[in-house]
Structure 1
């Protein structure tokens, strides 16, 4: 196995360890075990805890960006209902199966990034086809500040995902529809 492939395998295993065992459980030995590799392999490729965390965060961003890119390319947004349906699909993916594990790891890394400028820089939201599709739809509805509304809408969706990861349950369709309606409300519109 090539070095780059081994690093990806280790980063993927680290995501799983972090999701299952938390920050304290993220050790080189735990990653070795999760990857099914001999003890010391992770240390050979990612010498320090910082190197391990950095590789893990870079992999999380790579996976998330890939998912959002594909979704943005595949989901046509022609109405508020289609936008809400696309967001519902994303929230479901983030709360179930491997998406749930990645979400748990992502939030643990977000907390770590508060004290770690390198991790913080890696986790800064990036442009992708999903974000662009949301912004284009909002702009197409005549909303004066589509960039700000897009950021706010996606942050609110992220908050719902976090809330359901911690408290259980799923994000309801009416919650997403309400967020989309708020994003499309004309500036200065009354909050209902």
Structure 2
């Protein structure tokens, strides 16, 4: 069973991911969670505390997703990696769109909330470390994996913003991953 605190944070993710940063108030979260007024404030006295709690909850939920993904065999080939990345990109911009939009909204808040900046920085490094492990299975270097992660970040933003209309991300990912793989082979 989900705790009241996590219920509040999941409602905050929903508010932030569907209505944007300006809509994220303690009252809006209380309403979205179906809790009495003041409930969110009991857990997070300030908006900054709520933002930091959100970052931690997003990381917790992401970690659970990554753990499920890691139960699958590591990619055996470059094409397996491309397939997994295409699935990830599609999932984050369709099924998990609200959570992804909430995460991006937190990036906009981070410059003025140092604790939030630190939490997002930690989460980003954990994601990058996971990507390095996966890409290393098929011979892609950590430096080249950083390029791949940056590409994925941009692709997510473009897809969420409606700027990238391509339904299947696989062709572009395949070109990039194969190029990075070949680059690594020539070193």
| TM-score interval, normalised by the smaller of the two chains | 0.7 to 0.9
Cα distance change of structure 1 residues 110 and 75 upon mapping to structure 2, 3 Å threshold: farther
Cα distance change of structure 1 residues 69 and 88 upon mapping to structure 2, 3 Å threshold: same
Tell me which residue corresponds to 1:44: 42
Identify unmatched segments of 5+ residues in structure 1: none
Do the aligned partners of 1:84 and 1:173 also contact (CA within 8 Å) in 2? yes
- Deviating more after overlay: 83-92 vs 160-169: 160-169
What CA RMSD, in Å, does the superposition of the two structures yield over aligned residues?
A: 2.2
SS of residue matched to 1:77 = coil
Do structure 1's residue 147 and structure 2's residue 142 form an aligned pair? yes
Pick aligned residue for 2:62 from 55, 61, 64: 64
- Residue 13 of structure 1, CA deviation: 0.4
Tell me which residue corresponds to 2:112: 115
Following TM superposition, the consecutive aligned residue runs of length 4 or more in structure 1 with deviations greater than 6 angstroms are none
Cα distance change of structure 1 residues 23 and 159 upon mapping to structure 2, 3 Å threshold: same
Do the aligned partners of 1:71 and 1:130 also contact (CA within 8 Å) in 2? no
SS of residue matched to 1:38 = coil
Cα distance change of structure 1 residues 187 and 82 upon mapping to structure 2, 3 Å threshold: closer
Pick aligned residue for 1:167 from 156, 162, 171: 162
In 1: Cα distance, 2:68 partner to 2:75 partner = 14
Tell me which residue corresponds to 1:104: 101
Q: How many residues align?
A: 181
Do the aligned partners of 1:17 and 1:31 also contact (CA within 8 Å) in 2? yes
Tell me which residue corresponds to 1:22: 20
Do structure 1's residue 181 and structure 2's residue 173 form an aligned pair? no
In 2: Cα distance, 1:69 partner to 1:163 partner = 26
- TM-score by length of structure 2 reads 0.87
- TM-score by length of structure 1 reads 0.85
Do the aligned partners of 1:57 and 1:122 also contact (CA within 8 Å) in 2? yes
Alignment deviations for residues 41-83 of structure 1 (CA, whole Å, 9 cap, x no partner)? 1111111101111111111111112212321331430111100
In 2: Cα distance, 1:24 partner to 1:58 partner = 20
Alignment deviations for residues 134-159 of structure 1 (CA, whole Å, 9 cap, x no partner)? 23224xx3x5xx11111221121121
